Amino acid sequence: MTKHLILVGAGHAHLTCLKGLRDFTAQGYRVTVIGPGSHHYYSGMGPGMLGGTYRPQEIRFNSQRMAEAGGACFVKGVVARVKPSERKVVLASGEEISYDVVSFNIGSGVPTAGIAFQNASNVFTVKPIEQLWCARKSILAQLLSRTLELVVGGGGPAGVEISGNLWRLVRQNKGVANITLVAGRRLLAGFPDKVRQKALASLQSRGIQVVEGLHVTEIEAGRVRLTSGPQLPFDFLFLALGVKPPGLFRDSGLPTGPDGGLLVNEFLQSVAFPEIFGGGDCIYFQPHPLDKVGVYAVRQNPVLQDNLLAALKGRPLRPFQPDGAYLLIFNLGDGRGIFWKKNLIFSGRLAFWLKDYIDRRFMRQFQISGELAEAE
């Protein structure tokens, strides 16, 4: 009987598999790709799309076309549950699909469980990335009618990039807005102080107010309440409060890490079910925890492709080696960036040029389905 591989999600860690689907289908394996939509957006360029540096079609992959061109079946849907003992995934529609080998690359979401919501509108989480395009269009529709109050919750890299690119959006379109970043305990806590100071100086020099020592606790219509009671009015609110894997694995009774991510070994394989694999933000790497940054998903690409093919053939697996330090570059929204790798830290136009070059090179590698010619 023909063996069946399911790829759940078409994120960064599955891109090599999607591009190389013929390596599976040409050998007689049946492949199904399951995703919530026909496209996958590259998170590293999301804030730039919000600010207007990139068009939507420049930062996304047409995963449905990639799948079908490689001889796979694309199913539009969301996996709501896994039945590992039966080797089945259950879609939100109730449909069940059997597998011999399955791999998950479903990303992460912004945790909002600790925030009370009351009749709130115009609230956008930074994931899924598509929401940033919706936010941009909504802001543009109101920008010239009055001074807008734009609030960002979260003091990590995403909060910094969203705040800076909101400034670009307003400035490029000749609007007026007050932008406030509620940074939590401290802006860029855990980063080198030099990185933090450069980000703080960049934001404040453009009139972006940075509030430290307070967290978002409650959101109601047009108003956000902070720790200890202060309130801020908002027309648009962005939540960049870190990321967390979805509850799918825990709800399905699969072993997970403390953050709820699928617990995998050095082969990116479930510690309990050898036919289940995963990559990217949705896993917890048992050998040692990995930061939730896209570079690890990109590095996992070739390992997942090799191991999924090996699992189908019953051959030995290849270990994933994270390879230590990685590069981070923040897009500040003003044509400048902050570059950080090990002890090398600098800011300016060169930093953003490098980020833009690296991101566009990555996109060219996997945009093989005519994405740039698509409509927005």
In this structure, are residues 42 and 307 in contact, taking their beta carbons and an 8 Å threshold? no
In this structure, are residues 42 and 358 in contact, taking their beta carbons and an 8 Å threshold? no
pLDDT exceeds 80 at position 1 = no
Query: Token pair of 162, please?
Result: 């969203």
pLDDT at position 229 is 79
Q: What percent of the chain has pLDDT over 70?
A: 100
Summarize pLDDT for 49-83 with one digit per residue, the tens. 999 999 999 999 999 999 999 999 999 999 999 99
In this structure, are residues 183 and 159 in contact, taking their beta carbons and an 8 Å threshold? yes
Give the neighbor-by-neighbor strand order of the sheet with 216-220: 116-118, 216-220, 223-226, 231-233
Question: What is the value of pTM for the model shown?
Answer: 0.96
- Please, which pLDDT band fits residue 39 given cuts at 50, 70 and 90? very high
pLDDT at position 85 is 98
pLDDT at position 228 is 84
Summarize pLDDT for 259-271 with one digit per residue, the tens. 999 999 999 999 9
CATH code for residues 116-242+328-373: 3.50.50.100
Q: What percent of the chain has pLDDT over 90?
A: 94
CATH code for residues 4-36+77-109+244-313: 3.50.50.60
Average pLDDT over residues 170-179: 98
Domain extents in the chain: 4-36+77-109+244-313, 116-242+328-373
Terminal C-alpha separation, the chain: 42
- Please, which pLDDT band fits residue 113 given cuts at 50, 70 and 90? confident
pLDDT exceeds 80 at position 139 = yes
pLDDT at position 120 is 84
Cα within 13 Å of Cα(57), Cβ side? 9
pLDDT at position 215 is 95
Nearest to 44 by CA among 157, 181, 190: 157
Amino acid at 103: S
Query: Token pair of 142, please?
Result: 């109101």
Average pLDDT over residues 32-38: 97
